[in-house]
Amino acid sequence: MAITDRVVLPGGEEVPQLGIGTWMMGERAGSLKEEAESVRTGIELGMRLVDTAEMYGDGKCESFLGEALAGLRDEVFLVSKVYPHNASRAGVVSACERSLSRLKTDRLDLYLLHWRGGVPLEETILGFEHLKSQGKIRHWGVSNFDTDDMEELWETPGGEGCAVNQVLYNLARRGPEWDLLPWLEEHDMPLMAYSPIEQGRIPTDGALAEIAGKHKATPFQVALAWVMRNLNNIVIPKASRVAHMRDNRGAADIVLDSEDLASLDLAFAPPSRKRSLEML
C-alpha cells in the first residue's frame, strides 16, 4: 500500500512523506519480536523510510534493524546519524562503516550529523562526500540545526550538498515555523520532523478531540496529519506495536481543511517571535 504523498529531496529524488522512527527500539530483549513485526508492518503499509542513529542504544537499534530489515533492505530508504564527536573527516567514515556493519547493508540512503559539535563543519562535509564517492551513502544531511547553523553550513565549502534537516517539530513545538521552515523551503530542503506527536504527550482533548471526531480518527492521527499538511515535511513517528503502526499509517489519509487548521492554531498557537530550536 503506497503512501501517496511524497517529499522531493534536492536533486529530485522522491521519498515517502510518512516514515518510521526507531528511537529506543531494539533495547529490550523481550520486545524485539513485537518491534520487528511493527517495523515490517509499517514497510508493508508503505512507510518505507526508516530512521535510526548510532546513538540509539549505543548501536543496539541499528543491530536490531539489521535483523528486522532482512530481505527488505532494498525496499526502504534507510537513514542513520553520526555522533558529533565521531564527525571528523576520518571519524565519520569509520562511524559509517560501523553503522553499515550493524545494519547489515552496504550503503545508507541518508546519513545525518546528529547535532552540532566541536568538529568544523568543513571536516564533516569532507567525510560525507568521501562516503558518497565510495557509494557508502547516497545523500547526507544534518539534524538539530537552527537557522543560523543552516546559514553557516550553506556558506561552508560543500554545504550546499545538504539534503535534509531533521528537527523536533509538532503541534506543541512550533518554533521552527518562525524562520527555520521558511529558510528550508527557500532552499528547497525538506524538514524531517522527529517526535511528531511529542512522544504521545500532546494534549488530546479540546480541538484535537473535536477534529478527530469529525474525521473519524484519533487525536494522534490528527496531530500527525497536521505535520504532514506541508509537503516539505517528512514525518517519522515511532510505533513499537503493530496496532500503533497501523494507526500512524491512517494519518496519511486525513486531509485537514482550513477550519481544522484554524482551530488548531487557536489551541496550539504558532510562534510570535524567534525561539531557540528545541531538542529531545
**Percent of the chain, pLDDT > 90?**
96
User: With bands split at pLDDT 50, 70 and 90, how would you rate the model's confidence at 2?
Assistant: low
Give the cell for residue 74.
532494498
User: With bands split at pLDDT 50, 70 and 90, how would you rate the model's confidence at 1?
Assistant: very low
Kindly report the average pLDDT of the chain as a whole number: 96
**Third-level CATH fold of 6-267:** TIM Barrel (3.20.20)
Give a three-class secondary structure readout of 72-97: CHHHCEEEEEECHHHCCCCHHHHHHH
pLDDT digits 0-9 by tens, 135-154 = 999 999 999 999 999 999 99
pLDDT digits 0-9 by tens, 159-204 = 999 999 999 999 999 999 999 999 999 999 999 999 999 998 999 9
